[in-house]
Amino acid sequence: MAEAGPGLIKNRLDMGGVHYPIANTLTAATIGPFSLTGSIDQTDCGIVPISKAGGWARLTGTNENGAGAILGTQVGFSPVLNGTLVLETRLELQAQTARHTWVGFAADRALDTAEPLTAVTVTITPVSSSYVGFFQDSQLTANGFWYMAYNGGTATAPTTPITGIIGDAIVTAESQVLRIEIDTNGTARWYTDGELLQTVVGACSTTTLLAAYVGTFGTTTTISDVDLNYILFNANRDWTV
């Protein structure tokens, strides 16, 4: 098929005007170019502006283990047909306890969203068939770091994050820019604040459709959250269909 129109899909959401009230009744909402799903019909879940210069909003999960809220694209992007895929966000964690935070791509995005993986003490257990992303989980023995996870490609998925700490420890209430890139061959790159931390060839499936999102999930009866300044998503249009 001939190419026509914009070939680059480029979505960005700055959080200065974002507001989806907590304790609403919907199971999904559209916010700018992205969708908000998860347990957003619960009394403790939503996204609301916070008083911080530059336009920030707090994505709030829930107080149920494994449940939460995510903001991003739908499942509909293939590395081989739409790559290079890019997800970038600027965020802050106001606490590092009682939460699982995900920034990246995954093959699953149910309305009542679960994490792409679970992480307890020193072990990662994949949930989604294909994913690439950063995560922080308070249930890990060394829980104050961004870990770089991947699954579904030719590379063996890591299952022991404690032995693979790369980068500085997370500083509570200090902003960071996290960026994930996935090439058409499944090679993935992880960046923090513009610094390349890791490159993995064959990190994920090249043909499985992925969603790009930021998510916050509960691990106990404490409500989880993450503060966001912006989310940026880039992909190339597939002209073959």
Tokens encoding 110: 């149910």
Strands 46-50, 56-60: pairing is antiparallel
| DSSP-derived 3-state class of residue 80 | helix
d(CA 106, CA 213): 8
Residues of the chain with pLDDT under 50: 1
Q: How much is the mean pLDDT over the chain? A: 89
CA distances from 158 to 35, 132, 155 (A): 29, 11, 9
Question: In the prediction, which pLDDT does 92 show?
Answer: 97
Q: Give backbone dihedrals phi and psi of 159, rounded to 5 degrees, phi first.
A: -125, -5
Question: In the prediction, which pLDDT does 5 show?
Answer: 57
Q: What distance, in Å, lies between the first and last C-alpha atoms of the chain? A: 7
Question: In the prediction, which pLDDT does 131 show?
Answer: 96
Each residue's pLDDT tens digit, 104-161: 999 987 655 678 998 999 898 999 999 999 999 999 999 999 999 999 999 999 888 6
Please report the domains of the chain, with CATH numbers, ordered by start residue: 9-236 (2.60.120.200)
Can you tell me which residue has the tokens 């249009």?
A: 237
Question: In the prediction, which pLDDT does 110 show?
Answer: 60
Question: In the prediction, which pLDDT does 201 show?
Answer: 98
Question: In the prediction, which pLDDT does 4 show?
Answer: 54
d(CA 128, CA 150): 10
Cβ neighbours for 166, distance < 8 A, ≥ 6 positions apart: 148, 197, 198
Question: In the prediction, which pLDDT does 57 show?
Answer: 95
d(CA 177, CA 194): 7
Can you tell me which residue has the tokens 């679960």?
A: 114
